[in-house]
Amino acid sequence: VSFVAAKVLSLTWSKVMSTKNNPNNGETEHSETKSFQAEVGKILDLVVNSLYSNKEIFLRELISNSSDACDRLRYAAITDPHLFKEDPDLFIQISINKKKRMITISDNGIGMSHDDLVANLGTIARSGTAAFVEELTGDSAKDVALIGQFGVGFYSVFMVADQVTVVSAKAGEDTAWQWQSEGTGAFTVSPASRKNRGTSIELHLRKGESEFLEPSRLRHIVTTYSDHIALPIKLDGTGIDEVQTINSAAALWTRPKKDISEEQYKEFYHHVAHQFDEPWLTLHNKAEGRLEYTNLLFIPSSKPYDLFDPARKHGIKLYVKRVFITDDCQDLIPPWMRFVRGVIDSEDLPLNVSRETLQHNPVVAKIRTALIKRVLGELEKKASKSFDEFSAFWETFGAVLKEGIYEDAT
């Protein structure tokens, strides 16, 4: 799993290594205990005790992260097919153990190394932390949206679990690692036993959260939030001998617009943007002719806290024939369109295209020009037909749009 929602975070660690000379510290010889900063502890406490208006979002976040991990494996396997080994059929599985009060979300995606676990599951930016706390309103229904806006979606698991154990093996590596935390102030990282690549996330549920041990409840959450995920999501623990696939497993942008509901668009936006607000504008188009591509783009209704961070990447994922390529193609959209979220799926780029060859690529340049015209055209329509709505957009993203005026002038 690749926990993109948590990747925007950075954190100061207090590291305690166990040794043979100190057998009473409760760790194995190779385990590490890392303590959260006070600010991080505050966020975890807020997530667990305050932002509980919609607890089921934890499953959506974990499934989205598993989907990202499988996308990244597909891309890596284009140049290194051995990463698939004998397990080429990618999937996400949810398993239930009622006796132990546990649910497990697992995937056979790219997996994580020791350093990946530390970077992806335990980092929270001090600037983001402070902004998160400052934005809290006390209204749990509104504050839950901040989880996605500030990139702390992974921590929503602690709304329902009193202990979380992540076991992961990175594709192409022989060693597996375990990350474990009770969400109270520290976590441990230690070697683990896992034969196959991928990640398993085991949640020990809190008292009062037994609803998430019911197959019908989990099936409802998946069909509501994650039906669009282009991978089979399987459910084990239904009382039926075989594991059942419980989602449609079709990329949403490949479906005709008439077959997609507003709710499905909204949930896909939540998935691809890792945000919990409503999309302000949805653009779904298929270009045919000399240049063939599909775009499903969203303009958020709220401003991410790092919008003006120079290191911030844009939010467009590039696919080629439904295969994920990159989410960091700098030439795909200009910097002043970095508020746009969504996917571009091209039929004209080769599957073995590298991130390097995307630079100054003529197909990418044509798509970029078309996207700029389409986005600006839709904004112009909004300004003429619904000025109040456009004014809300301008108040949120007008400063970024002004950058485009300056860049074009220079």
Q: What is the CATH number of the domain that holds 87?
A: 3.30.565.10
pLDDT the model gives residue 204: 98
Beta bridge partners of 178: 167, 190
- Asked if pLDDT for residue 286 goes beyond 90, the answer is yes
- Which range marks the domain in which residue 224 is found? 4-245
Judge whether 124 and 106 are in contact, CB under 8 Å: no
pLDDT in tens, 337-355: 989 999 999 988 876 676 6
Most confident of 25-29, 256-260, 319-323: 256-260
Query: From CA 224, how far away is CA 97, in angstroms rounded?
Result: 23
User: Same domain for 284 and 234?
Assistant: no
**Sheet-wide strand order for 279-287:** 279-287, 293-300, 341-346, 315-320, 323-326
Which of these, 310, 309, 336, 360, lies nearest to 410 by C-alpha position?
Answer: 336
Domain boundary among 245, 270, 294: 245
pLDDT the model gives residue 396: 93
Provide the b/e sequence for 287-306 (b: ≥16 CB within 10 Å).
beeeeebbbbbbbbbbbbbb
pLDDT the model gives residue 33: 87
Judge whether 347 and 292 are in contact, CB under 8 Å: yes
Of the listed ranges 138-142, 146-150, 360-364, the least confidently predicted one is 146-150
User: Same domain for 162 and 81?
Assistant: yes
User: What is the mean predicted confidence (pLDDT) over 318-326?
Assistant: 83
pLDDT in tens, 290-311: 899 999 999 999 987 778 876 6
Query: From CA 398, how far away is CA 28, in angstroms rounded?
Result: 54
Residue 127: pLDDT band by 50, 70, 90 thresholds? very low
Query: From CA 352, how far away is CA 89, in angstroms rounded?
Result: 20
User: Same domain for 217 and 282?
Assistant: no
User: Same domain for 229 and 256?
Assistant: no
User: Same domain for 234 and 279?
Assistant: no
pLDDT the model gives residue 253: 94
User: Same domain for 257 and 224?
Assistant: no
Of the listed ranges 104-118, 311-325, 368-382, 387-401, the least confidently predicted one is 311-325
- Asked if pLDDT for residue 131 goes beyond 60, the answer is yes
pLDDT in tens, 44-65: 777 666 665 678 889 988 998 8
Judge whether 211 and 96 are in contact, CB under 8 Å: no
User: Same domain for 311 and 359?
Assistant: yes
User: Same domain for 237 and 294?
Assistant: no
- Asked if pLDDT for residue 119 goes beyond 90, the answer is no
CATH of the domain at 259: 3.30.230.80
Which of these, 57, 217, 244, 76, lies nearest to 152 by C-alpha position?
Answer: 57
pLDDT the model gives residue 289: 85
- Asked if pLDDT for residue 25 goes beyond 50, the answer is no
pLDDT the model gives residue 240: 60
As to burial, measured by CB atoms within 10 angstroms (0-12 exposed, 13-18 middle, 19+ buried), residue 38 is exposed
Query: From CA 33, how far away is CA 328, in angstroms rounded?
Result: 33
Judge whether 228 and 264 are in contact, CB under 8 Å: yes
Domain boundary among 245, 280, 308: 245
pLDDT the model gives residue 23: 39
Give the whole-number percent of the chain exceeding pLDDT 70.
77
User: Same domain for 194 and 55?
Assistant: yes
User: Same domain for 203 and 282?
Assistant: no
DSSP 17-69: E--TT-TTSS--TT-EEEEPPHHHHHHHHHHHHT--TTTTHHHHHHHHHHHHH
Per the structure block, which two tokens stand in for 183?
């969400």
Residue 128: pLDDT band by 50, 70, 90 thresholds? low
As to burial, measured by CB atoms within 10 angstroms (0-12 exposed, 13-18 middle, 19+ buried), residue 103 is buried
pTM: 0.71
Domain boundary among 210, 245, 280: 245
pLDDT the model gives residue 101: 97
User: Same domain for 306 and 241?
Assistant: no
User: Same domain for 386 and 238?
Assistant: no
Sequence-distant (6+) residues with CB within 8 A of 130 are: 39
pLDDT the model gives residue 277: 86
Of the listed ranges 118-122, 132-136, 242-246, 292-296, the least confidently predicted one is 132-136
pLDDT in tens, 216-263: 999 999 988 888 788 999 999 766 667 899 998 788 999 999 999 999
108 vs 2, more confident: 108
- Asked if pLDDT for residue 126 goes beyond 70, the answer is no
Q: How many domains does one find in the chain?
A: 2
Question: According to DSSP H, which parts of 248-297 are helical?
Answer: 262-273
Residue 124: pLDDT band by 50, 70, 90 thresholds? low
